[in-house]
Amino acid sequence: MDQAETLRKMRSGLPDAGTLKQHVKGIAVASGKGGVGKTNVVANMALELSKKGHRVLIFDADMGLGNIHILLGLAPRFNVAHVLTGVKKLREILVDGPNGIKILPASTGNKKYSELTAEEKLVLKSELEVVQDDFDYILFDIGAGISANVMFFCSAAQDVIIIASPEPTSFSDAYAMMKVLSRDYKVKSFQLVVNSCRDRVDAINIYKRLVMVSDKFALGIKIDFLGHVVTDASVSQAVRKQRLFCDLFPGAEASKNIVGIVDTLVKTAKTGEMAWDNIFRGDEA
């Protein structure tokens, strides 16, 4: 029996791909380049969503180099590796974060999960379906780059948010990520957050450049401007204290920017099915 037939048989024994409830909003947050503050933006977005009464799960989807627990000053005993090996159920390893946020920790320094197998993807699908009624938003904090894991989570989510900074390398890598997702995974809609910028004008200019380049090379994608976060001393101060800047410094300019991003996100986030059939994209080749 070849691998493709094996995967088809495994899939037929699981619930249909569209079994995640329509009220659940799965949002992949990614960056082409590391070091742009993606995890910090994700965590503060989750906090503001929870303040609005939404039930939020942060899935640390940087499977081998998870660090959101460090940002939040948490010390989880178990992580997603224990789920993938069958030692624990997903609900059993969730950790409490600020204001009722739930955290699904990733393993750290574990190369084994840097590229998930088809079987491991199926385990995650099944386990997320079990907890789907517990959350309104699932934020996938995805590793940087264009690895197979990054592509998997981005192509499965309903929305993809790209975090970029004003650095030329960040701009270039953000474009490359959208190009690959569009060409190879048929993801055609993106939202952009520009982090560590001078002001909104600076962020809008970066957004316009990305749109111009994508149009020039006929990617056939839609990029929406979700918001920006200015360079703010409160951000680094909060990181050193292992606290969220929206919690520690709610009046800071960066915190106000996050509130604006979340307000826009709540108005525009898609509902519907997570595209779990993308688990098999490339696995049956």
pLDDT in tens, 49-70: 999 999 999 999 988 778 899 9
CB 187 within 8 A of CB 181: yes
pTM of whole model > 0.95? no
Q: Is the pLDDT assigned to residue 215 strictly greater than 60?
A: yes
79 token code pair: 């992580």
Residue 197's pLDDT band, with cuts at 50, 70 and 90, is very high
Cα distance between residue 235 and residue 238, in whole Å: 5
Residue 114 — pLDDT band, cuts 50, 70, 90?
confident
What is the pLDDT, as a whole number, of residue 19?
Answer: 44
Provide the 10 A C-beta neighbour count for residue 233: 12
Mean pLDDT lowest among 141-155, 161-175, 205-219, 222-236: 141-155
The mean per-residue pLDDT over the stretch 135-153 comes to: 92
Which residues fall within 8 angstroms of residue 58, CB to CB, at 6 or more apart?
A: 42, 43, 46, 68, 97, 101, 102, 103, 104, 139, 141
Rounded to whole angstroms, the Cα distance separating 229 from 162 reads 13
CATH of domain 21-275: 3.40.50.300
Mean pLDDT score of the chain: 87
Place of tokens 């952009």: 192
> What is the structure's pLDDT at 143?
86
Of all residues in the chain, what percent carry a pLDDT higher than 70?
86
Alpha carbon distance 194, 206 (integer Å): 8
| Mean pLDDT in residue range 251-277 | 85
State residue 254's pLDDT score: 98
Look at residue 66 in the predicted model and tell me its pLDDT.
82
The average pLDDT across 152-174 equals 94
Domain map (residue ranges) of the chain: 21-275
Q: What pLDDT was estimated at residue 273? A: 60
pLDDT for residue 23: 72
Q: Which of 68-77, 104-113, 195-204 has the highest mean pLDDT?
A: 195-204
pLDDT tens, position by position, 4-48: 454 444 444 433 334 444 578 999 999 988 889 999 999 999 999
Least reliable range by pLDDT among 8-22, 107-121, 147-161? 8-22
